[in-house]
Amino acid sequence: TSKEQWAEVEAYVVDRLLPSDAVLDAARADSDAAGLPRIEVSPPHAKLLHLLARSVGARAILEIGTLGGYSTIWLARALPEDGRLVTLEYAEAHAEVARGNLARAGLDKVAQVRVGAALDSLPKLVEEGAGPFDLVFVDADKVNSPRYVEWALKLTRPGSLIVVDNVVRGGAVTDGSGADASVRGTRETYDLVAEHPRLDATAIQTVGGKGWDGMLIARVTG
Ligand code: SAM
C-alpha cells in the first residue's frame, strides 16, 4: 500500500459519506488564500469529531488550536442552538480567517475565537468558570499537549471526552530518544493519560491523504 492508495480511499470515503458542503469548501479556500498551512484535520476525522460531540450530547466544546476554523465549524455544527464553543488560537492572522469562516457558516454567535497562547487563555477560562466542557479537542503545539490535557481536566466533567490529535506522528511516537519536541510532548501525553486516575483512553492509528497519524480519545471518568 502507498500514500496514493490511502488518499484514494479517503476520497472514496468522502465521496460516499460526506456530501460536498459549500461553507466548508469556502472555509478551506479562504484559509489557503490567506496562506495558512494545510494542517487542518481531514474531512473524515472532522466528521468523527462531529459524531463524537453529538454522541456525548455536547452543549459546550473547547478547542485548542483553531487555524482557519475548519474543525471548529464541524464541532460547532454538532451543538444545539444554545450550545457554545470556545476555540483558542495563538496567531491573530489565523484567528481572523477563522472568524470570517465561522461568520460565513452562521456560527459566529456560537463559536468564540480567543487569541493568545493557550497556556494563558486556559487559566482565564477556569477563573471565569467557563466549564464544564463536554468535549475538548487538543490540536495546537504538540510540545504542550500534556499541559493542555491537564487544563482540560479542570474544565470538564465526568463523561466528557478529551481528544488529542497527531498522536502517532508517522510512527515516530515510539522514538523515546527525546530528540523531537513534538514526539516528546506526545509521549508525555500518553504517560499522563495512562497514569491518570480520572482518564480512560485509547489511541487509534489512521492513514489517509495526510499520511500516517492518529488520535487519542480519553473519557473523563470521575
Ligand atoms: N484544529 C484545526 C483544524 O483541524 O482545522 C487545526 C489546528 S493547527 C494543527 C494548530 C494551530 O494551533 C495553529 O493555528 C497554531 O497557530 C495554533 N497554536 C500553536 N501554538 C499555540 C499556542 N501556544 N496556543 C494556541 N494556539 C497555538
Under CATH, which number does the domain 3-220 receive? 3.40.50.150
pLDDT tens for each residue of 187-196: 999 999 999 9
- Per-residue pLDDT for 1 more than 80? no
Give the 3-state secondary structure percentages of the chain, helix then strand then coil, rounded to 5: 45, 25, 30
pLDDT tens for each residue of 53-72: 999 999 999 999 999 999 99
**How many whole angstroms separate alpha carbon 93 and alpha carbon 72?**
16
CA dihedral 44, 168, 95, 29 (to 10 degrees): -40
In total, the chain counts a number of residues equal to: 222
Cα-flanking dihedrals φ and ψ of residue 159, to 5°? 100, -15
Q: How far apart are the CA of 66 and the centre of ligand 1, in A?
A: 5
Q: How far apart are the CA of 64 and the centre of ligand 1, in A?
A: 7
**ipTM of predicted complex:** 0.99
Q: How far apart are the CA of 117 and the centre of ligand 1, in A?
A: 10
Q: Where are the domains of the chain?
A: 3-220
Whether residue 202 contacts residue 215, with contact meaning beta carbons closer than 8 Å, is answered with no
CA distances from 173 to 23, 109, 164 (A): 35, 38, 14
Per-residue pLDDT band at 222 (split at 50, 70, 90): confident
Query: Which of 72, 77, 137, 141 has most ligand 1 atoms within 8 Å of CB, for mutation?
Result: 141
Looking at residues 19-27, what average pLDDT do you find? 97
